Each structure stands twice: as C-alpha cells, then as structure tokens.
Amino acid sequence: MTRGQRFELRAVDFLLRDQSIRSRFALGPPSTPAILDREGRRRRRKKSTIWIARGVRVVPEKGKGLQTLMEKKDFEQWLENISVTFLSLTDSEKNETLDHLISLSGAVQLRHLSNNLETLLKRDFLKLLPLELSFHLLKWLDPQTLLTCCLVSKQWNKVISACTEVWQAACRNLGWQIDDSLQDALHWKKVYLKAILRMKQLKDHEAFETASLIGHSARVYALYYKDGLLCTVFSVDYSDELDILVSGSADNTVKLWALSTGMCLNTLTGHTEWVTKVVLQKCEVKSLMHSPGDNILLSADKYEIKIWPIGREINCKSLKTLYVSEDRSICLQPRLHFDGKYVVCSSALGLYQWDFASYDIIRVIKIPDSANLSLLGFGDVFALLFDNHNLYIMDLRTEQLISRWPLPEYRKSKRGSSFLAGEISWLNGLDGKNDMGLVFATSMPDHSIHLVLWKEHG
C-alpha cells in the first residue's frame, strides 16, 4: 500500500468516527473496527474497492477521491426502518422532514420528484372514470365553470359538451324551452351558448332593433296581428275552423261575423263601456261551465271581462263576468291575455291572473308605477309590458323587470288597439327559434307604424 492510499484510509477512518457521518450511512458503533490490518485488507480487497465497515465500501474513482456506497440489502433494511419511523411522525413533522430532504436534493432528485408528483397529483379523472360517473360529477359544476373546463383539452371539451343533462338544466334555468325528444349529444351546449347570448342582450337592452312602415295618408288608430300578418283594423279576432270573426266596438257590443259571407251572425250585449279587447281561444281546462276543446270568447271593457261560449250555435249567453272590484273602483287597462288555462289583465294595481277552471284570482303581481304599465303578453316565463316611454320584459319567476327598450313618443288610443305584441310564443320560454320577427308595433302621429324586432343572433 502506498503512502497516498494509507493517508486516504486515515481520512476516511476519521470521517467515519464523526456521529453525523455514521448516522447518514447507518454504520455500527464506533467500537467497530474501521480499518483492518494490512494482510486482511489485501485479501478482502476487490479491484478498485476498499472495504471500510459493515455494509459500506469506498470506491476510488479517478479525479474524485473515494466514494462511499451502501450494499443493496442493507439499503433496503435502512429504507424500511426509515419508512416505519416516518409513518410514526405527525403531519407537521412529516412536512419538516420532506422540506429537509428536498433541501439536500440535487438536480437529478428534484427532477425525479417533479415527474412523480405530476403523475400523482395531476391525474385526469375524466379519462380514468366511467363516462356515467364523470357526468354525475359534472352536474355539480355551474355552467360558467364547465365552459372554462372545456378549454383544458380536446378530450375534456368532448366529454363536457356531451353531458346533455347538464346543458338542458342550464337552459331551463335561463327560461329556455327544452325539447327532450332531441337526442343530439352536442346540441344542448350550443343551445346554451345561444341562450346566454340572448339573455345577455336582454339584460344589456340590446336584443331588439326598430323599423317603420310608411304608406298611410292618415293616422292609424288600431292594429291587429295574427299568424305573421299585421293589419290596421279595430279590436278583432277570428277562427278559420268556426268561420267566425269577432269584433268589439265603442257601442258596448261584441259582433260575430261569418268570414265566408261577411254577414253579421249575432250581437252580444251586456257591456256598459267600450269593448276594447276580444279574444277567441280554445279552452284547455275543465269546469262546470266548459270542457277542454270548447271555443271560448273573452271580451273586455274598462271594468270587467265577460266569458262567452262560442260554437256552431251562435245565440249564446255570457258564462261569467270577471272583475277586480265589485264597486268598479279599480279600472282594467285595455289589454287582455288568455291561453286557454289562465286569464291575465293589467290594472292600476298591477297584473291580475285568474284560473280559468275556477275563475278565482290566483296571482297579483305588483309592479312599480303599475298605473302607467300596460300588458302586451303573458307566458309561463316572461311577460311583455310597456308604458309611454319603454317596452319592458318581466321574468315571471322573480317578478322583476329584466330588460327594456326605448319607444318613440306616441299617443295612446282610447280604443286600446293602437299598439300590440307580435309573435308571443317566446313568452313561454325561448328556444333559439322563436326569438325572431315582430315584438311590438304601434301607430305614430306621422301616419307610420313603428316596429320593434328581434335582432339576429350574433
């Protein structure tokens, strides 16, 4: 053994006697001989290896001095002991231990730690879980969060977009009509995006646009709209099935006309004020006075609403009279809505809703400045109202006005028909197809007709 090798062995022996070094390599007690005699060392020595103590060997490497290694069997035993000790620690002690080990780690260990942590902590549950279970979890997220999750990856976007139940529920919450028979998995997310855009336009008062019809040489005092046709006539309604046209007039009567011949079939009396609104509609509920499918005529004046049965026989009597106050202290505005199940009319106190089966008032909606607000349309989800300055949309679920649209100055007609609603099926809920065409029309002092139309979807 050369002098240099003996010097290195002495240096290693000195280091091994240090307690921190011994604990790091799990060496035996200091009494354990660290250096063997010269003959024994020569006999046990392998090529380029110097045995120092149990389970530890020193390997000389060119330019690096001596490198201390642990045998695999002893390392596994040491690792098991360390694991048992680690598991017995508290959470704070475990965290402190990990922090210390990380501070001792080099670039190779840190890279290894980063790769393994990413595998453990960033597992893609949408790939790992069955599709049905993924859909169940996604139902707990709000739509805005789901839209954000769609940006994670193509796989996430595909799975989330196919979650039909989630997007249908989101559309219903916006008051959108849902056709359950449509099974296209990717359809409802598109419908929701269209719905959220339309509702944002309503909230920002940007859902409509205006136009004018010019051509009359005198003021138009009454308007009528049905099946996409806008007519300049007085308060009328008609039924092709019955071949009947009904009109209300300022002589306090309601007249029935034969559409095919133009002959007056009957005059209904009983009103004491101008008949400002007439509505023909099939009944959808059963009561003692009518059955589903019966043709019903409603006529309204300043204080009351009369209900008439209309059939092939023309001579009929009023079934019932509806009113807000028996002493006529509360006036009804010349607006009336009837869908076969409910009757709705506006008054100075708000909107009144009657159940057509029992004729009872079931709902009164108080609205600010209700004396000046008139009813144009009433549905399951929305109501359309207006005053001298604006057109309003009310969400009937919250009874709050959610949108408005400015109207030009015009003069209301005492007959109550110089303004009207256009297509009103969207009042039962938007569906992406019924939010188009005419919303509102009114006649103007310059002999024109002012129109409010739905804007096309962006």
Q: What is the pLDDT of residues 410-442, one digit of tens each?
A: 655 544 456 778 888 888 888 878 888 888 888
Whole-number mean pLDDT of the chain?
A: 76
Q: Are 334 and 416 in contact (CB under 8 A)?
A: yes
Cα 382 from Cα 392, distance rounded (Å): 10
Helix (H, G, I), strand (E, B) or coil at 132: helix
Token pair in block for residue 406: 């400015």
Beta pairing class for 390-395 and 400-406 = antiparallel
* Straight-line distance from the first to the last Cα atom of the chain, in angstroms, rounded to the nearest whole number: 90
Residue type, 95: N
Q: pTM of this prediction?
A: 0.60
DSSP string covering 256-301: EEETTT--EEEEE---SS---EEEEEE--S--SS--TT-EEEEEE-
- Residue-wise burial string across 44-68, b where 16 or more C-beta atoms lie within 10 A, e elsewhere: eeeeeebbbbebbbbeeeeeeebeb
Question: Which range (115-124, 360-369, 372-381, 385-394) has the least confidence?
Answer: 115-124
CA distance 187 to 256: 47
Question: CATH number of the domain at 125-204, out of 1.20.1280.50, 3.40.50.720, 3.40.309.10, 3.40.50.300?
Answer: 1.20.1280.50
- Cβ-count burial of 359 within 10 angstroms (0-12 exposed, 13-18 middle, 19+ buried)? middle
Tell me if 248 sits within 8 A of 268, measured CB to CB: no
Residues in the chain, overall count: 458
266/65: higher pLDDT = 266
pLDDT, residue 48, reads: 46
Architecture of domain 214-366: 7 Propeller (2.130)
Whole-number pLDDT of residue 44: 47
CA 312, distance to chain mean position in Å, is 48
Say how far apart CA 246 and CA 266 lie, in whole Å. 10
- For residue 310, which of 295, 327, 290 has the smallest C-alpha distance? 295
Give the strand pairing for 374-378 and 382-386: antiparallel
Q: How confident is the model at residue 34 (pLDDT cuts 50, 70, 90)?
A: very low
